[in-house]
Amino acid sequence: MTKKILILPGDGIGPEIVAQAEKVLTYLINERGLNLDIDHGLLGGCAVDAAGVPLPDETLAKAKESAAVLLGAVGGPKWESIERALRPERGLLAIRSALGLFANLRPAVLFPQLAEASSLKAEYVSNLDIMIVRELTGGIYFGEPRGIRTLDDGQRQGYNTLVYSESEIERIARVAFDVAAKRQGRVCSVDKANVLEATELWREVVSDIARDYPDIELQHMYVDNAAMQLVRTPKQFDVLLTTNLFGDILSDLASMLTGSIGMLPSASLASDGTGMYEPIHGSAPDIAGQDVANPLATILSLSMLLRYSLAEVKLADQIEQAVSQVLSKGLRTKDIYSDGTSCIGTNEMGDAVVSALKVVCVA
């Protein structure tokens, strides 16, 4: 049976950047014999507008039937003040949870051509290759109770709950150790064990699991120190293992080391192999519809989809090579532009990757 891929463009720049990844995918299907059916669905604000909820049943049903999901981004000012349960971001959290996508892999890799676009001096980031393993379906993002309540004195109080069970910590720790085994063999687990009990347990369980991986070197670091170390000597890290909230923050931070948040892809994986792939950046409503957004994080997310969900390792490598060649030609979207390079739009960048891919595939 032909495998299905579900595409969820989402909101803001989502449709524009996903369209570029779809050009790449269409080329692979039409010209390279990749056998896939593509379907589309609604998630986020566009789903609220069309169906009244951020994650329609139909979208979830399609996602469950698919081998993988490619997502753009969700959210925007239009939906910021609607009822909390209907906000676009809730749809994203709901689909992550419903598909059991607990393991979020966020590689922060510097393309050497972009060393000048990094917020750090080139010597600090040359050959940078960090893998952030973020827990994605637990922690303070999902803990109950949560809400905004009114206290006896009349003032409102917001509250959230940080919870991690041993099994949740164990399964994400095993992912990090397995990933590290295929890399430099080093895991740095990031927590706030000096203050938060939930992460005191995190540290304990990660240490216990490490005994099953004698070849992996494990280090623990408090999140405040980790943030500092990431901008001080980022190359000290191989795999960073962390919680949902800390991973959200540290992956944005790490993205700037690689030149732009517009460059970083991600894979969210379930234990049954289901995967959803999305750029780590948001829907950037301020630049939506202007043909200036960088589609490379989404195209690189497609590469991760081919690698992890379809075992099309060669095609995945070729997409990465094509992106690298486009950068070598000096083509840049606005976010990664520097003197001496050529600034192009979202569409042109998508076309440039397809053109480069044609050459890479033939070579």
Is 57 a known active-site residue?
A: no
x/- map, 51-80, ligand IPM, by CB under 6 A:
------------------------x-----
Least separation in angstroms between CB 149 and Mg ion: 26
**DSSP secondary structure string, 87-121?**
SHHHHHHHHHHHTT--EEEEEEE--GGGGGGSSS-
Helices 223-232 & 244-257 angle (0-180, nearest 10) = 10
From the list Mg ion, ligand IPM, none, which binds 22 (C-beta under 5 to 8 Å, kind-based)? none
From the list ligand IPM, Mg ion, none, which binds 168 (C-beta under 5 to 8 Å, kind-based)? none
From the list ligand IPM, Mg ion, none, which binds 89 (C-beta under 5 to 8 Å, kind-based)? ligand IPM
**Both ends of the chain: CA-CA distance in Å?**
31
The residue from 89, 191, 238, 312 that contacts ligand IPM (CB under 6 A) is 89
157 DSSP β-pair partners: 149
Q: Which is nearer to ligand IPM, 55 or 209 (CB)?
A: 55
Q: Which tokens hold the place of 322?
A: 């094509």
Instruction: Write down the residue that tokens 């075992």 correspond to.
Output: 311
Contact region for Mg ion (CB under 5 A) — 80-88, 106-114, 240-248, 329-337?
240-248
Answer whether 194's CB lies under 8 Å from 202's CB: no
Name the region of 76 (left: φ>0; alpha: ψ -120 to 50; beta: rest). Answer: left
Least separation in angstroms between CB 243 and ligand IPM: 12
Residues in 280-319 that interact with ligand IPM by CB under 6 A: 280, 282
Is 335 a known active-site residue?
A: no
Q: Which is nearer to ligand IPM, 241 or 344 (CB)?
A: 241
Q: Which is nearer to Mg ion, 275 or 282 (CB)?
A: 282
CB < 8 Å & 24+ apart, contacts of 317-324: 318/357, 318/360, 318/361, 319/24, 319/353, 319/357, 321/356, 321/360, 322/353, 322/354, 322/356, 322/357, 322/359, 322/360, 323/111, 323/296, 323/299, 323/353, 323/356, 324/111, 324/113
Told to check if 265 binds ligand IPM by CB under 6 A, we report no
The active-site residue, picked from 62, 191, 192, 335, is 192
Q: Which is nearer to ligand IPM, 189 or 243 (CB)?
A: 243
From the list ligand IPM, Mg ion, none, which binds 216 (C-beta under 5 to 8 Å, kind-based)? none
The active-site residue, picked from 23, 141, 238, 335, is 141
The active-site residue, picked from 37, 49, 208, 224, is 224
How far is residue 106's CA from residue 264's CA, in Å, rounded to a whole number?
Answer: 7
Answer whether 333's CB lies under 8 Å from 344's CB: yes
Is 213 a known active-site residue?
A: no
The residue from 24, 92, 327, 354 that contacts ligand IPM (CB under 6 A) is 92
Told to check if 248 binds ligand IPM by CB under 6 A, we report yes
Instruction: Write down the residue that tokens 């991600």 correspond to.
Output: 266
Least separation in angstroms between CB 89 and ligand IPM: 4
Task: Give burial (CB, 10 Å; 0-12/13-18/19+) of 188.
Answer: buried
Q: Which is nearer to ligand IPM, 244 or 333 (CB)?
A: 244
Told to check if 135 binds ligand IPM by CB under 6 A, we report no
Least separation in angstroms between CB 141 and ligand IPM: 7
Looking at residue 114, its amino acid is: L
Q: Which tokens hold the place of 63?
A: 């996602």
The residue from 22, 135, 168, 248 that contacts Mg ion (CB under 5 A) is 248
If you compute the radius of gyration of the chain from its CA atoms, what whole number of angstroms results? 20
Is 39 a known active-site residue?
A: no
How far is residue 61's CA from residue 88's CA, in Å, rounded to a whole number?
Answer: 18
- Given the rule CB under 5 A, which residues bind Mg ion? 248
Active site residues: 141, 192, 224, 248, 252
- Given the rule CB under 6 A, which residues bind ligand IPM? 75, 89, 92, 248, 280, 282
